[in-house]
Amino acid sequence: MPKRADIPPPQDPQLRGQIVKRSVVEVDEQRWERLNIRTHVILAGEDIVEVVLFYTLPHLQPDDLIFISEKAVAGSQGRAIPVKEIQPGRLARFLSSKVRPVPWGYGLSKPETMEMAIREVGTWRILLAAGVHAVTRLFGRKGDFYRIAGQRVTSIDGPDEPTAPPYDQCVTLMPLHSDEICAELVQRIRRWKGPHFPVEAAIVDINDLGSAVLGASPGVHRKKLAQILSDNPLGQGPYITPIGILRRIP
């Protein structure tokens, strides 16, 4: 991964740790406020729990839910691979040539992203997904490739997508141990705020076409959370707001 000296500073470094955007959404006759928190660019080797604690503790209220972009977690785990370090095989080059770019980026239409998909779930699963997709699309069905390939493939983000450097030149994979990270985060918050402080946490994969909860602390209603965040409140771009707080409006 690039060193921190290679990363340009955010446009407004004074805003780090501050809430830079608020938005409200109504789901099932309940209103929810989403608070976007500006951070630094989170890189490999950083303790994601420590980072989230640093930025959220000053803002937390009882019954808040912290949601974290999967890209920030994956980056901290070293699962953002510079595209120049990936050597696609012939299968990846062939399959990627059959994929249409998605609206917000390239998806698996680049050989490098397809190569990482093959490495993540194996050649046979990718071939099965591709074969089923080739058949079912004749009947007008969509999405079978990703349903069979699984979330580890669906969550892959490619290079040149609208995001902050260095991730615009990386293939970013799905983070690992997401449930455990969320549980640890909740435990650490309760050490600061008290053992019974009501708070939850989730790691989410959000883009302009939808949202998925990749990991969460035990009390989170994952399907409802995905609905609340489905309009992508963190934004799809180089905003450096990978952490948000969800708060119910009485």
Q: Which residues in 69-104 are b (16+ Cβ under 10 Å) and which e?
A: bbbbbbbbbebbbebeebebeebbeebbeebeeeeb
Mean pLDDT for 90-117 is 88
State the residue range of the domain holding 39: 4-79+175-249
Mean pLDDT for 112-118 is 97
44 and 13, same structural domain? yes
Dist. CA 181–CA 38, nearest whole Å: 20
List the single range of 47-61, 110-124, 202-216 with lowest mean pLDDT: 202-216
Reply yes or no on whether the pLDDT at 11 is more than 70.
no
Task: Please choose, from the candidates 102, 96, 105, the residue with its C-alpha nearest in 3D space to the C-alpha of residue 170.
Answer: 105
In this prediction, residue 13 carries a pLDDT of 60
90 and 53, same structural domain? no
CB 48 within 8 A of CB 222: no
Mean pLDDT for 112-141 is 95
Last residue of a domain, one of 172, 202, 234: 172
Tens-digit pLDDT profile for residues 56-81: 999 999 999 999 999 999 999 999 99
| Phi, psi for residue 14 in degrees, rounded to 5 | -65, -20
165 and 180, same structural domain? no
Instruction: With cut-offs at 50, 70 and 90, classify the pLDDT of residue 189.
Output: very high
DSSP 58: T
Instruction: With cut-offs at 50, 70 and 90, classify the pLDDT of residue 30.
Output: very high
Report the percent of the chain where pLDDT is more than 90. 74
Last residue of a domain, one of 157, 172, 187: 172
In this prediction, residue 103 carries a pLDDT of 63
140 and 203, same structural domain? no
In this prediction, residue 102 carries a pLDDT of 66
Q: Tell me the CATH number at 12.
A: 3.30.1330.100
161 and 101, same structural domain? yes
Reply yes or no on whether the pLDDT at 89 is more than 60.
yes
Mean pLDDT for 219-238 is 88
Reply yes or no on whether the pLDDT at 105 is more than 70.
no
Last residue of a domain, one of 172, 193, 212: 172
Report the percent of the chain where pLDDT is more than 70. 90
For the chain, the domain total comes to 2
163 and 42, same structural domain? no
In this prediction, residue 5 carries a pLDDT of 35
List the single range of 58-62, 134-138, 218-222 with lowest mean pLDDT: 134-138
